[in-house]
A = this chain, B = another copy of it.
Amino acid sequence: MTEFSREELNQFIGLHRESKNFINLNPIQRGGILTPEARKALVEFGDGYSIYDLSPGLEIEKIPLVKRFISDILPRFLGADAVRITLGAREGIFNVMHSITKPGDTILVDGNRHYTTITAAERAGLRVIEVPDSGYPEYRIDVENYEALLKEHKPKLLILTYPDGNYGNLPDAKKLGEISKEYQVPYLINGAYAVGRMPISMKEIGADFIIGSGHKSMASSGPIGVLGMDKKWEKPLLRRSDRYPEKSVEFLGCELRGSAIATLMGSFPAVVERVKNWSREVENSRYFIDKIEEIDGIKQLGVRPTGHDLNFLETRVFYEISKRHKRRGFFLYRELKKRGITGIKPGMTKNFKLSTYQLKKEELKIVINAFEEISRMD
């Protein structure tokens, strides 16, 4: 039998988040902070398969509360006809690719897509054509540029990342909906940074699929995501097993397991509320950008004014300091940490992304003051 030393095992005891009470600016983390209700649900349903206890003897997807959530509440929330729980945004994108394309097919994606859109396409054996962004400083995706590539490459699927995860740009998704209908090509909107943060409706956009991420933007423990679809895609996506006619092939029976679903449901009422307050989030984000752009050598890149809490900053002022600082690029991370702020990648000073999502005005002010103070360092 394998032997492990006491030291080898002890390293896993007392796992600790030093920065738990810091102001965290990491965009990947801000939308996944649990609500108090979700935290209670997590503790209640933390044990492996304890979600079964909600309705003993039923398959998870048949538990009445879960069933109502998936077949009524979530479709209305996403503006979709049918919804499935996935293991995350990337897995949902792969589910769609694997169900409605064949290896060798071409797909058209925006140049600002997440890297996992590419790995999912590679896993599905697809050829990927990218619609380029406009480059520095806006990195704008003009959806009209899909048209020429549509004609040239006859893609089997269009993907738009809305917003993208670098600049928080929000392309004209609705216009792409019209284009997709004109060319009759299915259209997937990757809303990993939209669903659960801002109002978004698949139907209003005119998309065929919508992807969301529980751990990124729906105040959930992960891994968990949502996939909404138009009813015309239920047949390929929800195709049943020959041997087990109740079971889905693409989702291997059911992707829904474990405690993540308890947090997705537990946070849902608060998520509905926060989505309603999206305009305040955008106001806060613009306020923050306005204030830090008063610092000489800091500039928001991407489309302006920002329409999202996730923003990309060019910060020449910090880069200049890093050149003369003994800690080099790491000084910024350290200086922020001293002030109870985290989430900027250690070593980065020239440019980086951050999110102000759900930060209170006082917290924004602490961050603004920190940036100002640090920018004045010798």
User: Which A residues have a C-beta under 8 Å from some C-beta of B?
Assistant: 1-2, 4, 8-20, 24, 26, 28-29, 31-34, 37, 39-50, 52-54, 56-57, 65, 68-69, 73, 76-77, 79, 87-88, 90-91, 94, 98, 115-116, 118-120, 122-123, 199, 201, 214-216, 219-224, 241-244, 247-250, 252-253, 255, 257-260, 262-263, 265-266, 268-269, 272, 275-276, 333, 342-343, 345-348
Contact = CB atoms under 8 A, between A and B. Distances in A.
Given A88-B257, A223-B255, A253-B115, A33 B47 contact: yes
Contact of A263 (B43, B46, B201): B46
Best-surrounded residue of A10, A12, A53 (most CB of chain B within 10 A): A12
B266 A15 contact: yes
Contacts of A53: 17-20, 24, 29, 342
- Count identical subunits in the complex: 2
A10 B24 CA distance: 30
Nearest to A266: B15
A157 to B, nearest CB: 16
Contact of A52 (B29, B118, B221, B272): B29
Given A47-B34, A247-B119, A346-B56, A272 B42 contact: no
B253 A119 contact: yes
A48 B73 contact: no
Contact of A221 (B47, B65, B253, B347): B47
A34 B63 CA distance: 23
Given A29-B52, A31-B48, A258 B221 contact: yes
A45 B15 contact: yes
Nearest to A267: B12
B49 A9 contact: no
A54 B18 CA distance: 8
Nearest to A122: B249
